[in-house]
Structure 1
Amino acid sequence: MLAGMEGRDGMRAADADRAAVADRLRAALDEGRLNLYEYDERLQQAYAARTYAELDALVRDLPAVAPPPAAALAEPVETTPARPATARWLAEVWMPYLQVVPIVVAIWAISSLFARDLLYFWPGWVAGPWGAVLLVRTVTGLAGGEPRRWEAERERRRRRKLAKRARRRALEAGGPDD
């Protein structure tokens, strides 16, 4: 049995194994088991690790991941549904247009109703040029890989926000004399 474990320890780790260890380290940081410095140091080592033994050493002193309490399972973890980056990018690009154009059309319709006559359709001056600009942006963005860059930037901001929150927690836990 020990020989089997030694064999596994020497095996090369995959990217998925490194990501799993990174997730476990992030959970330990959130639980307060690691401070930000330890987390950063171990995270760098995790992504540089080549073997299972190197990865196991990074989490050896951490307890096994506990399942979330029943109350936490009832709460939604993420409010954003899992959609491909392209769909999220398109929604971000087009959503203001899809919200504003119906409003200006409704204003035109109400004005026409009160005037008891069909007034000049001025919402076309809002919807037309804006829609043309968005169409060009959509075509050039999809052709140039903009959704991937947008998603990467979004993830970078999310990670920066989490790190900032973790630093704040670490400072609060350390007290004012640190």
Structure 2
Amino acid sequence: MANSPEMRASDADRDRVAAILREHTAQGRITMEEFNERLENLYKSKTYGELAKLTSDLPDVDLRHRPAKVQPQPVKKGRVHPGLQAAWGAWAMASGINWVIWLIVGITSGDPVYPWPLWVMGPWGVILLMSTIFGSSRPKSD
């Protein structure tokens, strides 16, 4: 049976139109402001006719043939997870900066200076080391 414009729409119908509006926004046919306005009207809509008005000025979109989402590539065995690699890079950069500051203070003061950068890099480095050794290299699944 064909859906007449006066028939009541379901939540699934509204979700389908929302997906179509998102796709048109992603393709640049409507602005974010227009998308938000249409989305607001979408969830106020009660009939198929009201839903049809929201997309009447847009071309048809076949949501079944959209490009698939790119799946993250698993980390190869023996390689460090990219996030952990970035954390090690941040640790190394912060440690290096602290040691340079310590060295400058030591040279300009003329007195021996307590090696305080160890307190910055030590605990952070231990946590990173434990994460590297015992952490999982597999990405978490939703």
TM-score, normalised with respect to structure 2:
0.46
TM-score, normalised with respect to structure 1:
0.37
Higher helix content, 1 or 2: 1
